[in-house]
Amino acid sequence: MSAPVIAIDGPSASGKGTIASRVAKRLGFHYLESGALYRLVALLSLREGTMQENRLVELAEEMDVLFDDGDILLGDEAVTEKVRSEPVGNRASEVAKVPGLRQALLRRQRAFRRPPGLVADGRDMGTVVFPDAELKVFLTASPEIRAERRYKQLIEKGIDANLRALSRDLRDRDERDAKRAVAPLVPAPDSQVLDSSALSIDEVVERIVGWCRERKLGGPA
């Protein structure tokens, strides 16, 4: 029997990464931040100055990636902060439209599925990567709330940011992700849509863990 999967999808800055990692910890499951794989390819794409499909596929297949307790390693280089930057995020949205790259990363993403289970966050976890997931959540929030959250994150890290520009970038990225021909950002028909605009992180985690318990997923709380 295949290991169970909790798929958490949603737009940029919806909080899905933080939520998914906490849910995984509560359930005792493995965690996959699928967006980090696209951001890693985006980082390499920016460094090489390429958007050629064949090269992007090669980069996806060859990159040496390790997720280590919240840190992301590319070979021996710690790139956690670099892949979180806005330029890399914008390029990730562009490379995500390349069909060959999505196919290459699909194989890597599915390899994360192993016992006792997996919590995977991204944009097409429930629709494409794990269509048989036991629970699918589409986590969203208003563009204004998401921009404010991203702004606070950047300021806390000492990174200069412009709230209006962030809001504009998020709206543009939403539109690109929703309208792309391959795996557009849309809720799976059988997903639980959860608007976190007025909810705290703990409240969202409790809601999702509750749904998991109803489905007998995960170990003791």
Residues 123-180 pLDDT 10s: 899 999 999 999 999 999 988 899 998 888 888 877 788 888 888 888 888 888 888 7
Residue 98's pLDDT is what?
Answer: 92
Q: In the beta sheet, which residues pair with residue 8?
A: 121, 137
Tracing tokens 């986590």 back to the chain, one arrives at: 139
Q: Is the dihedral of CA 210, 215, 217, 221 positive or negative?
A: positive
Per residue in 40-59, pLDDT tens? 999 999 999 999 999 999 99
CATH 3.40.1080.10 fits 5-214, yes or no: no
**d(C-alpha 138, C-alpha 121), whole Å:** 10
Domain ranges of the chain: 5-214
CB 89 within 8 A of CB 3: no
Q: With 0-12 CB in 10 A as exposed, 13-18 as middle and 19+ as buried, what is 82?
A: middle
As a whole number, mean pLDDT of residues 104-111 equals 92
Global pTM? 0.84
